[in-house]
């Protein structure tokens, strides 16, 4: 569940009554920014705009949510060109200037608009309007569970199949060896994973890749850590090709990669830094003294020790990052890169 007191909220108003509501929201949620029509009395508490659409476009992606205190029709027409993907769009809620209703409009689940509508309604004494089918039918919203558990949704189109099954009260096969989703589902809605079939949906929670029916929702826990070593000047493409090849051969999803780790001597390596940006994962570096504390690496190298003063980079870094004494994949070596993979205990 989102803590909206810590999120960035933009509040958009057109009228004096709307500004009164906006100020109440600002008082309750200090991280809110107020945007108001320049036709209102000037003030230091808000940013003025002359045209709503022109002001909203550059601000759209800079906020976790937007609250429009105005007619729904105005909001729909204004945000239509900006909407791209419900897993990435900011939450959008709107409400009347009398403060009677707050409507969850866009990104109700993953973006948190449903929760925001409830939060704002509590602040204003309004009635939240929630129209998503799972909420109306009081069944689990699998995309919200995935969001709250820090799981990557690999095939977004399958969410609707899971949701529809739950609405109908149909149990689904669930593969969840790390118990990340199943504790949040009623037992009557779960079946054994051996019952996966092409006729119905299901839920697969794992970093392992399997050939699954199209309607099965695949959720990836971010629990794989790639220890990497490389030659000076290696390109991002060389690093990525090796990593993806190893993941593919071993049947692991790159979407479960949590971070990349290496030795601090590589902290300025352009290819390695570019790889982390491309894969959208953090990268961390350990000192040689820290790596040298790992005494149980399966493939120590005298050559590496000669050049940088430690017997292992990729294996030691992966083990150090996860606290593991064994590796999921020991050192694999390409022409310019080495990689080892370890699994960290999944916490979110």
Reported as a single tens digit per residue, the pLDDT across 193-222 is 888 888 889 999 999 999 999 999 999 999
Radius of gyration of the chain (CA): 25
What are the pLDDT digits (tens) for 224-234?
Answer: 999 999 989 99
- Number of structural domains (the chain) is 3
Pair 90, 123 in one domain: yes
Query: Which CATH number fits the domain that encloses residue 321?
Result: 3.30.420.180
* Residue 43 confidence (pLDDT): 63
DSSP three-state, residue 129: strand
**Could you give the C-alpha distances from 14 to 22, 31, 79, 179, in angstroms and in order?**
11, 20, 16, 48
Of the residues 162, 187, 221, the one at which a domain ends: 221
Whether 217 and 228 map to the same domain: the answer is no
Does residue 273 sit within a domain?
yes
Arithmetic mean of pLDDT, 240-245: 96
Residues 212 and 250 in one domain: no
What tokens does 106 get? 């866009």
- Do 103 and 79 lie in a common domain? yes
pLDDT tens, 277-316? Answer: 999 999 999 999 999 889 888 887 777 766 777 878 999 9
Model pLDDT for residues 109-134, shown as the tens digit of each residue? 989 999 999 999 999 999 999 998 88
Rounded mean pLDDT of 35-62? Answer: 88
Rounded Cα gap, residues 206 and 209, in angstroms? 8
- Using 50, 70 and 90 to split pLDDT, how confident is the model at 172? very high
Q: Which of 189, 221, 253 is the last residue of a domain?
A: 221
pLDDT at 303: 75
pLDDT band with cut points at 50, 70 and 90 for residue 6: confident
Question: Of all helices (H) and strands (E), which one includes residue 74?
Answer: helix 72-79
Mark whether 242 and 339 lie in a shared domain.
yes
Q: What is the pLDDT at residue 217?
A: 96
Q: How much of the chain exceeds pLDDT 90, in percent? A: 77
Mark whether 212 and 235 lie in a shared domain. Answer: no
Cβ-contact 340, 314 below 8 angstroms: yes
| Average of per-residue pLDDT across 132-153 | 90
Decide if 335 is inside a domain.
Answer: yes
Last residue of a domain, one of 88, 110, 131: 131
pLDDT over 70 (residue 332):
yes
Look at residue 91 and give its three-state secondary structure: strand
Buried b (16+ CB within 10 A) or exposed e, 100-121: ebbbbbbbbbbbbbbbbbbbbb
Residue 64 has pLDDT above 80, yes or no: yes
The CATH number for 83's domain is 3.40.50.11220
- Closest of 264, 266, 330, 257 to residue 296, by C-alpha: 330
* Cβ 253 vs Cβ 277: under 8 Å: no
| Least reliable range by pLDDT among 131-140, 265-274, 280-289 | 131-140
Predicted local confidence at residue 346, as pLDDT: 63
Residues 111 and 146 in one domain: no
Q: CA-to-CA distance for 126 and 124, rounded, in angstroms?
A: 5
Query: Whole-angstrom Cα distance, residue 72 to residue 266?
Result: 52
H or E segment to which residue 225 belongs: strand 224-230
Q: Domain check: are 61 and 11 in the same one?
A: yes
> What is the overall mean pLDDT for the chain?
92
The answer to whether residue 348 sits within a structural domain is no
Can you give the residue range of the structural domain that contains 335?
A: 224-343
Write down the pLDDT at residue 325.
Answer: 83
Indicate whether 136 belongs to any domain.
no
With cut-offs at 50, 70 and 90, classify the pLDDT of residue 42.
low
The answer to whether residues 119 and 172 belong to one domain is no
């Amino acid at each position: 569940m989102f803590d909206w007191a810590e999120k960035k909220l933009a509040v958009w108003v057109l009228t004096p009554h709307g500004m009164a509501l906006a100020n109440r929201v600002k008082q309750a949620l200090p991280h809110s920014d107020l945007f108001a029509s320049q036709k209102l009395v000037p003030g230091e508490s808000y940013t003025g705009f002359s045209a709503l659409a022109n002001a909203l476009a550059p601000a759209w992606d800079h906020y976790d949510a937007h609250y429009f205190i105005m007619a729904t029709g105005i909001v729909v027409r204004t945000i239509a060109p900006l909407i791209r993907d419900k897993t990435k769009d900011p939450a959008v809620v709107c409400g009347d200037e009398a403060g009677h209703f707050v409507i969850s409009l866009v990104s109700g689940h993953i973006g948190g608009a449903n929760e925001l509508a409830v939060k704002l309604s509590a602040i204003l004494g309004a009635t939240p309007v929630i129209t998503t089918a799972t909420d109306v039918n009081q069944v689990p919203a699998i995309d919200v569970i995935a969001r709250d558990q820090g799981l990557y949704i690999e095939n977004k189109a399958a969410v609707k199949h899971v949701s529809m099954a739950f609405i109908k009260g149909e149990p689904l096969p669930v593969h969840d060896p790390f118990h990340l989703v199943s504790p949040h589902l009623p037992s009557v809605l779960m079946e054994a994973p051996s019952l996966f079939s092409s006729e119905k949906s299901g839920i697969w929670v794992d970093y392992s890749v399997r050939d699954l029916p199209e309607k099965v929702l695949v959720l990836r826990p971010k629990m794989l850590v790639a220890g990497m070593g490389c030659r000076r000047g290696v390109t991002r493409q060389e690093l990525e090709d090796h990593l993806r090849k190893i993941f593919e051969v071993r049947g692991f999803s790159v979407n479960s990669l949590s971070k990349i780790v290496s030795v601090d001597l590589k902290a300025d390596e352009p290819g390695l830094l570019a790889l982390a940006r491309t894969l959208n994962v953090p990268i961390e570096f350990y000192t040689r003294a820290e790596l040298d504390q790992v005494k149980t690496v399966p493939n120590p190298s005298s050559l590496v020790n000669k050049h940088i003063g430690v017997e292992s980079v990729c294996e030691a870094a992966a083990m150090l990052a996860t606290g593991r004494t064994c590796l999921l994949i020991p050192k694999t070596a390409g022409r310019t890169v080495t990689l080892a993979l370890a699994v960290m205990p999944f916490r979110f």
